[in-house]
Amino acid sequence: MNAVWPIILLAGSGIVMNVAWYYHLKQPSWGMLAAIGIAWGIALIEYCLAVPANRIGIAHYSLAELKTIQEVLSLAAFVLVAWVLFGQTPGPSQLVGFALIAGGAFMIFKSPFG
């Protein structure tokens, strides 16, 4: 179970960070400083998830694996946030790009080249 906690925390981190990055776009009336301040406040929550995820995760995964998990989950969180907040779903080109990223993640975890 300990190896699962970093994944759970990084998944939450990815969702929160994508909200921090993009939610302000739904609020065009906010001034730039307000948008930055609110995004930073949300990002603080993200760090409260990401830092423990990495500290726990280093006992189970290499740094490259942790970063790969974070990137894949962040991308999945982006798709979720884009859909829920903006009603946007990935098109065929994006799906091909995501598949290529998944292939890269596979290479990191399977280490076929040593």
Alpha-carbon gap, residue 89 to 105, rounded angstroms:
22
Print pLDDT tens along the chain (114 aa): 799 999 999 999 999 999 999 999 999 999 999 999 999 999 999 999 999 999 999 999 999 999 999 999 999 999 999 999 999 999 999 999 999 998 888 888 887 676
Taking CA 70 as the corner, what is the angle to CA 85 and CA 77, rounded to the nearest 5 degrees?
15
Residue-range definition of the domain harbouring residue 73: 5-110
Structurally, the chain folds into a number of domains equal to 1
Residue 112: predicted pLDDT: 67
Its pTM stands at: 0.87
**Separation between Cα atoms, residue 47 and residue 14, nearest integer Å:** 10
- Compute the distance between CA of residue 36 and CA of residue 33 in angstroms, rounded to an integer: 5
SS3 content of the chain, % helix, strand, coil (to 5): 80, 0, 20
Element (H, E) at 63: helix 63-86
pLDDT at position 52 is 97
